[in-house]
Amino acid sequence: MIIIITNTNLNTGTETSARADKRAFDELRNLKIEAGVLERADGSAYLEMGGNKVLAAVYGPRELFVRRLMQPNRAVLRCKYNMAPFSVDDRKRPGPDRRSVEISKITSDALSPAVFLEKFPRSTIDVYIEVLEAEGGTRCAGITAASVALADAGIPMRDMVVACAAGKSDGNVVLDLSEVEDKEGEADLPIAMMPRTGEITLLQMDGDLTEEEFQQALDLAIGGCKKINEEQKKAIKNRYGE
Amino acid sequence: MVHIVPEIIKESVTNLVKNGERTDGRAFDEYREISLETGIIEKAEGSARVKIGKTQIVIGTKPQIGTPFGDTPNVGVLMTNTELLPMAAPNFESGPPDENSVELSRVTDRCIREGKVVDLEKLCIVEGEKVWMVFLDLHVIDYDGNLMDAAVLGSVAALMNTKIPTTKIENDEIVLDYENMMPLPINEKALMCTFAKIDGELIIDPSLEEEEIMGARLSIGMTEDGNICAMQKGGAQPLDREKILKVVSIAKMKTAELRTHLP
């Protein structure tokens, strides 16, 4: 019988600083957004946030071949969230799993309110999100990148949806959880919003928060979204000018 | 989804080839611009991003310890998988790999395996029990023609970039030493060259426009010493003997040229 053991120390390092990566409680990870990175797609965006590397592409509005999904008075917005097999430590088997199906659905729900779907009856707008490397918070990174790709595709929108998570790690309410904080933390609260109106279009939570902590986390996440939204706008301006 | 190519495009591309020209002004034996970066995904043990023209593939490797196949108990395993992502082209659909995706995986695998790019025997840990299984995953993110050459070039680069922990056997236990990583045993850099047949001519590195109207396609995999290690013909039109021999000799020069892009 052969047992496989490893001799590495997976040092999470939370003992030296309040946060593993020495960020302040309300500090985002490094963020980089670029619009228009793909040739074939109608719109695209690449986003790096901490160790996350996410690519989003948009096709449409285009003809919808699946008749049963067709809406006579508006377009449907279909999202596909997918993780590359090499994006995580242990290879992920290709193809959809329950997690990616759920994230695809909530991404579609998060983006739909911002898009003027009623302008394109009987058609579809397809959003594809590919996670090339994952380091906690990929659903938020995906939504943020997808909005930039939608704008890059020239799809009329009320606002650019932006997403960010807050949560509780090591007893503290913190913004933008890293992979370690997400796995070992007490709570995770990803939200998406339309920053112009402040309307929240995605809200999930898992873990344990008191009412006060929830309010704190929600306010942190909203603040984070506003900062990320500035970067989204910059990415579009860099591509198309002021 | 059926993709329709307008007759007028077909005619104009064919007429250009008749006059010895191509839509993007290249010569018949000229590649588009190639760029290659490695080590772009930290969580993958090896990775590469390759661009030929606007075609773009991200490749990652994931080595795992597994059981060898019964007929090759002392040989490691290489598994190649391709995803033609729906983001890469409007006519690519999500779902299980279709025949184009499977063909691309298999031809890439064949070129790397038969070209003996990785010394798989050195990936044996305990004969008959444990070997390294290297998963090679190709993520096609932008499709602008000639996926085969990009796939093989990027795969070889990703394999060259791959590091695995050294293994020791202590009291019947395999100990993985992540402090001492070693590169995969690479002993060859086999690469592939693809030609498209348009109006009887065989032209290298077909762009999307050219691929859409080509009658046939021939991919040739070659090792560093110019031996052929893999071939694949695609498309419904036949090829004649002289043309095949001619492009084999062109492929020899062109795979050597492609090899200069490897780190």
Binned at pLDDT 50, 70 and 90, residue A121 comes out as very high
Mean pLDDT across the stretch B207-214?
94
In this predicted structure, the answer to whether residue B38 has a pLDDT above a threshold of 80 is: yes
Asked if A33 contacts A44 with a C-beta cutoff of 8 angstroms, the reply is no
HSE-CB of A124 using CA atoms within 13 angstroms = 16
- Answer whether B87 sits within 8 Å of A134, measured CB to CB: no
Contact B85 A130 (CB under 8 A): yes
| CATH T-level fold of B7-259 | Ribosomal Protein S5; domain 2 (3.30.230)
Chosen from A6, A58, A91, A104 to mutate, greatest number of chain B CBs within 10 A? A91
Query: Do the beta carbons of residue B187 and residue B120 sit within 8 Å?
Result: no
Q: What pLDDT is attached to residue B5?
A: 81
Looking at the partner chain, which of B41, B172, B177 has a beta carbon nearest the beta carbon of A133? Answer: B41
Contact between A95 and B60 using a beta-carbon 8 Å cutoff: no
Q: What is the 3 state secondary structure string of chain B?
A: CCCCCCHHHHHHHHHHHHCCCCCCCCCCCCCCCEEEEECCCCCCCEEEEEEECCEEEEEEEEEEEECCCCCCCCCCEEEEEEEECCCCCCCCCCCCCCHHHHHHHHHHHHHHHHCCCECHHHHEEECCCEEEEEEEEEEEEECCCCHHHHHHHHHHHHHHHCEEEEEEEECCEEEEEEEEEEECCECCCCEEEEEEEECCEEEECCCHHHHHHCCEEEEEEECCCCCEEEEEEECCCCCCHHHHHHHHHHHHHHHHHHHCCCC
- Please report the pLDDT score of residue A12 as a whole number: 38
CB contact under 8 A, A89 and B175: no
The shortest CB-CB distance from B174 to any of A2, A8, A41 is to A2
Cα dihedral B50/B106/B102/B132 (nearest 10): -80
Percentage of chain A modeled with pLDDT above 70: 93
Contacts of A4 in chain B (CB under 8 A): 65, 173-174, 176
Which chain B residues are Cβ-neighbours of A104 within 8 angstroms?
none
Contacts of B176 in chain A (CB under 8 A): 4-7
- What is the four-CA torsion angle of A80, B94, A51, A86, rounded to 10 degrees? 150
Q: Which residue ranges make up each domain of chain B?
A: 7-259
- Asked if residue A10 has pLDDT above 90, the reply is no
What are A67-104's pLDDT values in tens digits?
999 999 999 999 999 999 999 999 999 999 999 999 99
Rounded to two decimals, the pTM is: 0.91
Token pair of A33 as six digits: 């957004």
CB contact under 8 A, B54 and A39: yes
Interface of B with A (CB under 8 A): 1, 40-44, 47, 54, 56, 58, 60-62, 64-65, 81, 83, 85-90, 94, 96, 126, 129-130, 135, 137, 139, 141-144, 165, 172-179
Query: How is residue A89 annotated by DSSP?
Result: S
Give the A:B interface size as CB pairs under 8 Å: 119
All residues of chain A having their beta carbon less than 8 Å from the beta carbon of residue B54 are 39-40
* pLDDT for the residue B2: 62
Q: Which residues of A touch B (CB under 8 A)?
A: 1-8, 38-41, 44, 51, 53, 55, 57, 59, 62, 65, 80, 82, 84-91, 94-96, 126, 128, 130, 132-135
CA distance B174 to chain A (A): 5
Q: Are B36 and B153 in contact (CB under 8 A)?
A: yes
For B65-99, the pLDDT digits (tens) are 999 999 999 999 999 999 999 999 999 998 899 99
Is A17's pLDDT higher than 90? no
Provide, as residue numbers in chain A, all residues whose Cβ is less than 8 Å from the Cβ of B68: none
Tens-place pLDDT, residues A153-196: 999 999 999 999 999 999 999 999 999 999 999 999 999 999 99
Query: Could you give the ipTM of this predicted complex?
Result: 0.89
Tell me what pLDDT residue A241 has: 84
Distance from CA of A56 to the nearest CA of B (A): 8
The residue that leads in pLDDT, A12 or A161, is: A161
- Chain B residues within an 8 Å CB radius of A135: 43
Q: Is the dihedral of CA A168, A174, A180, A182 positive or negative?
A: positive
pLDDT (tens digit per residue) in B156-193: 999 999 999 999 888 888 899 999 999 999 999 999 99
Judged by CB atoms closer than 8 Å, whether chains meet at A85 and B62 is answered as: yes
Determine the Cα angle at B93 with ends B89 and B94, to 5°.
120
Beta bridge partners of A172: A169
Question: Which residues of B fall within a CB distance of 8 Å from A94?
Answer: 81, 83, 137
B135: closest chain A residue by CA: A91
